[in-house]
Structures are given as structure tokens and as C-alpha cells.
């Protein structure tokens, strides 16, 4: 890993319409979300691909921060790794109301050779979140061929838990 796992860091790309924030490393008490100023953008996209961990102080600040943002911006979460999806599922307010998950990683494990793999699931292609009058749609396979040994890899998560953030939230 090219980045130290103990520091959090933002890379911000803002074209005036969409503000894309790449978040790297550990989210903890040293993460200063206030560094991020989306200005007049309509959309704030959080690219969470390189997030490696989140501790309780970081989570507390996160929830307060996204709560502020969601009233002003359309929020999109993309490239969410497992550590982030776990929080979306268990921590109320981590994924604010109205926020869209554009893509997230789905872990697979191969029993025969031990290979671990992550499939990037994309909104609209692999899944769709529930709405007030439609259930969530999930087209993510329970098994897929292992790229190493060609046996079947299986989902390394419990679907009912891992995909529960796609349910309709009131
Ligand atoms: Zn294998």
C-alpha cells in the first residue's frame, strides 16, 4: 500500500458542478472534514476506495459532517470498500438520507485456493436501492469463477446483512 494507513487525507476535484473528494487512509480523530469546501457545487461525490479503517471518533465526526452536507448537496458515495459498507449497515446516519451509493465492493472467497477478490458492484447495473414503492434490486451473483483455479468463489458476506443498506429507509 503506497499510503500510510495512519493518516487520512483528501484529494479534492471541484469543477463548480461536482465536487469529488478522494478519501485516503484511516478516518479517526485527526481527520479534519472541515478542510473540504464544496463551494457552489450541486453534488458532492465521496470516493472511498482508499479508506482502510474508521474508528469511533472518526465515525462520530463523519456522521455530524455528512448531516451538514446532506442539507445542501446531493451526496454520492462511490467505490465503497467493505469497511465502509459495514458502517452503512450498522451505523445510523453514516449514509445520510437521500445519499446515493454509486458503487461498492463485494468480497468473494475461494474455498479451494484461498483467493480473496472484490467485485465492484455498480448502481443501475448490479443493484438499485429500494424506493417508497419498489423493493431493492440486487443482481450480484452468489458465486463467480475464481480467476486463479477456476473453481467457484463464494460471497464472503451474508447478503441479508451486507446489502441491507439498499433497503428503503424512512
Ligand atoms: Zn481459487
Reply yes or no on domain 1-101 having CATH 3.40.50.620: no
Give the tens place of pLDDT for each residue, 34-48: 889 999 999 999 999
Using the mean position of ligand 1's atoms as its centre, give its distance from the Cα of residue 106 in Å: 16
Average pLDDT, the chain: 93
Query: Whose CA is closest to 118, among 103, 104, 106?
Result: 106
Q: What is the pTM of this model?
A: 0.92
pLDDT of residue 8: 52
Taking the domains of the chain in order of start, what are their residue ranges?
Answer: 1-101, 105-170
- The alpha carbon of 102 and the centre of ligand 1 are apart by a number of angstroms equal to 29
| Residues 13, 105: Cα–Cα separation, whole Å | 23
- pLDDT tens for each residue of 132-170: 999 999 999 999 999 999 999 999 999 999 999 999 987
Top-confidence residue, 169 or 29: 29
The backbone region for 114, taken as left when phi is positive above 0, alpha when psi lies in -120 to 50, beta otherwise, is left
Determine the distance separating the centroid of ligand 1 and the alpha carbon of 150, expressed in angstroms.
Answer: 6
Cα(52) to centroid of ligand 1, in Å? Answer: 25
Q: How far is the CA of 153 from the centre of ligand 1 (A)?
A: 7
Distance from the alpha carbon of residue 148 to the mean position of ligand 1, in angstroms:
5
Is-contact 74 65, C-beta < 8 A? no
pLDDT digits (tens, 9 = 90+) for 87-107: 999 999 999 999 999 999 999
H helices of the chain, where?
56-70, 82-90, 159-162
- Residue 135 Cα to ligand 1 midpoint, Å, equals 34
Strand, coil or helix: 146: coil
Amino acid at each position: 500500500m503506497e499510503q500510510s494507513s495512519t493518516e487520512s487525507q483528501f484529494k479534492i476535484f471541484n469543477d463548480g458542478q461536482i465536487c469529488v473528494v478522494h478519501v485516503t487512509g484511516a478516518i479517526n480523530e485527526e481527520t479534519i472534514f472541515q478542510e473540504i469546501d464544496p463551494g457552489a457545487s450541486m453534488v458532492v461525490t465521496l470516493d472511498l476506495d482508499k479508506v482502510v479503517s474508521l474508528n469511533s471518533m472518526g465515525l462520530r465526526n463523519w456522521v455530524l459532517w455528512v448531516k451538514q452536507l446532506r442539507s445542501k448537496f446531493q451526496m454520492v458515495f462511490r467505490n465503497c470498500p467493505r469497511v465502509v459498507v459495514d458502517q452503512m449497515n450498522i451505523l445510523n446516519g453514516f449514509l445520510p438520507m437521500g445519499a446515493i451509493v454509486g458503487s461498492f465492493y463485494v468480497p468473494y472467497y475461494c474455498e479451494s485456493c484461498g483467493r480473496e477478490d472484490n467485485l465492484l458492484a455498480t448502481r443501475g447495473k448490479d443493484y438499485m436501492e429500494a424506493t417508497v414503492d419498489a423493493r431493492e434490486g440486487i443482481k450480484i451473483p452468489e458465486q463467480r469463477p475464481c480467476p486463479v483455479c477456476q473453481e467457484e468463489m463464494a460471497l464472503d458476506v451474508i447478503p441479508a446483512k451486507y446489502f441491507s443498506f439498499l433497503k428503503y429507509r424512512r
